[in-house]
């Protein structure tokens, strides 16, 4: 559903087709509350459901780079390899360890407030040198926008907005809460980490030296002793 459709539905649920208590702007804000609440519920099941990519220039002698506006948290940080043009994943380290990092010439990253910190500090400028994979805050800014959650769960967005709006009144919302709980409970049916592929168990049958069953009193075949 578009934001316009959701707002129309919400007005019918509130029994206020003609604006009186709630302007369109207020209802649009409440619908965004619903979108973000549904985003949170989805991410309890699939934390990577809404990932986006952002690239930033590297500035010489600068370690700190602002996170994308409205981002929840970074999933990965990568640096561009100037020889291949490909982005290579950096290891994450706690800030206190990262800021003194000098091991093996590899860079690491850490989060510091609203910034991503890269250490050792890059010595040269690189266009689009940093790639951040992050979780954005879902929102609807126009009446044509469609929430990025399963269409069959869009009704939950209007229910959350309705419950929030009626929370300022004495009207009962118990039935709405029960229906919302059922819709949220169905979310695992829409998200799967394996995309329908069966997970398989593949045991490692290679026994290293020292394994108790590999033979010999010292864990080595007799021929090797």
Question: How much of the chain exceeds pLDDT 90, in percent?
Answer: 60
Q: Where are the domains of the chain?
A: 3-47+142-189, 52-134
Mean of the pLDDT values across residues 191-206? Answer: 62
Instruction: Give the three-state DSSP class for 2.
Output: coil
Mean of the pLDDT values across residues 163-183? Answer: 85
Residue 168 pLDDT more than 80? no
Q: At 31, is the pLDDT very low, low, confident or very high (cuts 50, 70, 90)?
A: very high
Distance CA 83, CA 116 (A): 24
Least-confidence region, from 89-103, 158-172, 206-220: 206-220
What SS3 string covers 100-129?
CCCCCCCCEEEEECCEEEEECCCCCCEEEE
Question: How much of the chain exceeds pLDDT 70, in percent?
Answer: 83
Q: At 204, is the pLDDT very low, low, confident or very high (cuts 50, 70, 90)?
A: low
Residue 196 pLDDT more than 70? no
Q: Please check whether residue 145 is in contact with residue 154, taking contact to mean a CB–CB distance below 8 angstroms.
A: no
Residue 220 pLDDT more than 50? no
Distance CA 145, CA 2 (A): 5
Give me the helices (H) in the chain, please: 3-13, 24-45, 95-98, 154-166, 174-185
Mean of the pLDDT values across residues 46-65? Answer: 93
- Predicted confidence at residue 104, as pLDDT, reads 67
Average pLDDT, the chain: 86
Mean of the pLDDT values across residues 151-160? Answer: 93
- Predicted confidence at residue 105, as pLDDT, reads 73
The pTM (predicted TM-score) of the whole model is: 0.76
- Predicted confidence at residue 34, as pLDDT, reads 97
- Predicted confidence at residue 195, as pLDDT, reads 57
Distance CA 35, CA 55 (A): 26
Residue 219 pLDDT more than 50? no
Residue 90 pLDDT more than 70? yes
Residue 218 pLDDT more than 80? no
Mean of the pLDDT values across residues 43-72? Answer: 92
């Amino acid at each position: 559903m578009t934001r316009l459709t959701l707002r129309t539905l919400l007005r019918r649920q509130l029994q206020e087709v003609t604006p009186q208590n709630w302007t369109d702007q207020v209802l649009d804000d409440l619908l965004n509350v619903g979108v973000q609440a549904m985003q949170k519920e989805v991410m309890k099941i699939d934390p990577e459901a809404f990932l986006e990519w952002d690239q930033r220039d590297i500035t010489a002698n600068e370690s700190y780079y602002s996170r994308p506006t409205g981002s929840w948290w970074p999933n990965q940080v990568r640096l561009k390899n100037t020889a291949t043009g490909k982005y290579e994943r950096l290891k994450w380290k706690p800030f206190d360890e990262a800021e003194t990092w000098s091991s093996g010439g590899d860079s690491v990253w850490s989060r510091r407030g609203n910034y991503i910190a890269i250490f050792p500090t890059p010595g040269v400028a690189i266009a689009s040198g940093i790639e951040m994979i992050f979780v954005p805050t879902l929102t609807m800014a126009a009446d044509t926008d469609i929430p990025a959650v399963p269409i069959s769960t869009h009704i939950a967005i209007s229910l959350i907005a309705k419950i929030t709006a009626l929370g300022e009144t004495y009207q009962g919302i118990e039935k709405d809460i029960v229906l919302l709980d059922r819709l949220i409970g169905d979310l695992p049916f829409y998200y799967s980490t394996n995309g329908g592929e069966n997970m398989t168990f593949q045991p490692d049958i290679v026994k290293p030296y020292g394994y108790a069953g590999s033979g010999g009193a010292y864990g080595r075949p007799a021929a090797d002793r």
